[in-house]
Amino acid sequence: MKALFVPAPGAGFEWTDRPTPAPGPADVLIRVLRTGICGTDLHIERWDEWAASSISTPLVPGHEFSGEVVEVGPLVHDIAVGDVVSGEGHIVCGMCRNCRAGRRQMCIRTLGLGLHRDGAFAEYVVLPGQNVWVHHTPIDLDVAAIFDPFGNAVHTALAFDTVGEDVLVTGCGPIGLMAVAVARHAGARFIVATDVSPARLELAARMGADAVVDVSREAIGDVQRRLGMREGFDIGMEMSGAASALSSMIDNMTHGGRIAMLGLPHAPFAIDWGKVVTHMLTLKGIYGREMFETWNSMSAMLQTSPVLGERIASVISHRVPAHEWRTGFELAHSGGAGKVILDWTEV
């Protein structure tokens, strides 16, 4: 099969032939149809400090995908050849305390598809049956390929009850944009989104934000007053990983406000813990998706809300043939694109 391959530590991928993987008795073999390019893939392609310390080679990267089931192991249930599927890329041990308690997203031995085992930047990928998500209703293959980051957004947006609440979203990359759309779908009152990119802020408005803030030019507090908010935000969703974003979020929360943090900081930074304590704020770290309640929520929301589906699909800005992967990665690296999809039906 054709695949993108990292043969040894170092920058760049090889477009090469690799053996088609063989599924075990509890596995599913999937023909990959679409893949999304994630920020993690950009780290691996650059082979930066994070990749050098976290990734083992040789490796086929890639973890955001949609595909068609072509073989099912004898121990797998409820999955059939021909099913259109996406995949949960966090592969868990099943035996630690959290796994046994049904909190698999908190597994202490999690392995990442396309990070610690061969992933989906290939014509075929093998995944444990329990990690395969079957789409039982029709779905656009591009949207199915971004169920992984869509799940990040849903996990973050539904971490706290947003019905009737005022929501601040800091960071309007693809996941932040999808979080705005989910918060609007879930019944938030006012949604304010912040970034420094005019293009991304324009997209946030289309996603359903009531106001957008270029924080290099305007203060969040000014926007609160313009909306008629009398106190601070009830819910914060920090999607950027920027120290300044979290600090400004804390400054603009109401007493008892709740913050869900998905953005990964590049380095430790100080925050006003006195305000966290005296304002009785809750900070909750978010990683990946809940297995598999987040997946149920994603499918249900898309099935019942065409508007949400259109908004999620609008995050995808480019689709390129898989053999033109360099173009796809250049677009993703540029920062000016939305979500970039590789089409594996064109290899």
Q: Are residues 227 and 329 in the same domain?
A: no
pLDDT score recorded for residue 304: 95
Q: Are residues 42 and 60 in the same domain?
A: yes
Q: Are residues 121 and 233 in the same domain?
A: no
What values do phi and psi take at 182, rounded to 5? -70, -40
126's enclosing H/E stretch is strand 124-128
Q: Among 40, 110, 162, 194, which one carries the catalytic annotation?
A: 40
- The answer to whether 58 and 7 are in contact (CB under 8 A) is yes
Four-point Cα dihedral 240, 243, 249, 250, nearest 10: 140
What percentage of the chain carries pLDDT values higher than 90? 97
Answer whether residue 158 shows pLDDT above 90: yes
3-class secondary structure, 224 = helix
Q: Is 317 exposed, middle or buried (0-12, 13-18, 19+ CB in 10 A)?
A: middle
| 75 vs 152: CA distance, rounded Å | 29
Answer whether residue 152 shows pLDDT above 90: yes
3-class secondary structure, 15 = strand
Q: Which residues lie across from 259 on neighbouring strands?
A: 236, 283
Band (pLDDT 50/70/90 cuts) for residue 284 is very high
| 3 vs 156: CA distance, rounded Å | 32
Query: How many C-beta neighbours within 10 Å does residue 84 have?
Result: 19
Q: Are residues 181 and 259 in the same domain?
A: yes
- The answer to whether 114 and 60 are in contact (CB under 8 A) is yes
Q: Among 35, 43, 162, 194, which one carries the catalytic annotation?
A: 43
- What's the average model confidence in pLDDT over 84-90? 98
43 is catalytic: yes
The 8-class DSSP code of residue 133 comes to: E
90 is catalytic: no
Q: Are residues 218 and 160 in the same domain?
A: yes
Q: Are residues 112 and 243 in the same domain?
A: no
- What's the average model confidence in pLDDT over 119-128? 98
Q: Are residues 84 and 12 in the same domain?
A: yes
pLDDT of 3-22, one tens digit each? Answer: 999 999 999 999 999 999 99
- What's the average model confidence in pLDDT over 76-95? 97
258 in a domain, yes or no?
yes
- The answer to whether 322 and 125 are in contact (CB under 8 A) is no
Q: Are residues 274 and 171 in the same domain?
A: yes
Q: Are residues 137 and 159 in the same domain?
A: no
Domain final residue pick, 285, 302, 324 = 285
pLDDT score recorded for residue 179: 98
Answer whether residue 335 shows pLDDT above 80: no
Q: Are residues 129 and 80 in the same domain?
A: yes
50 in a domain, yes or no?
yes
Domain range for 15: 2-146+315-343
Q: Which amino acid is at 132?
A: V
Answer whether residue 336 shows pLDDT above 80: no
From the list 243, 232, 191, 194, the residue with the least C-alpha distance to 214 is: 194
- What's the average model confidence in pLDDT over 295-313? 97
pLDDT score recorded for residue 337: 83
CATH code for position 338: 3.90.180.10
12 in a domain, yes or no?
yes
- What's the average model confidence in pLDDT over 69-89? 98
pLDDT of 173-226, one tens digit each? Answer: 999 999 999 999 999 999 999 999 999 999 999 999 999 999 999 999 999 999
CA distances 310 to 275, 286, 302, 307, Å, are 39, 25, 9, 5
- What's the average model confidence in pLDDT over 305-321? 96
pTM for the whole structure: 0.95
Total domains present in the chain: 2
Handedness of CA 322, 140, 298, 239 (dihedral sign): positive
| 113 vs 92: CA distance, rounded Å | 11
Answer whether residue 283 shows pLDDT above 80: yes
Mean pLDDT score of the chain = 96
306 in a domain, yes or no?
no
- The answer to whether 181 and 207 are in contact (CB under 8 A) is yes
- Angle in degrees, 0-180, between the axes of helices 174-186 and 147-157, rounded to the nearest 10: 50
Residue with tokens 């014509």: 123
79 in a domain, yes or no?
yes
Q: Is 335 exposed, middle or buried (0-12, 13-18, 19+ CB in 10 A)?
A: exposed
pLDDT score recorded for residue 266: 84
310 in a domain, yes or no?
no
Q: Are residues 237 and 108 in the same domain?
A: no
Strands 233-238 and 253-261: parallel
CATH code for position 181: 3.40.50.720
Q: Are residues 7 and 141 in the same domain?
A: yes
290 in a domain, yes or no?
no
117 in a domain, yes or no?
yes
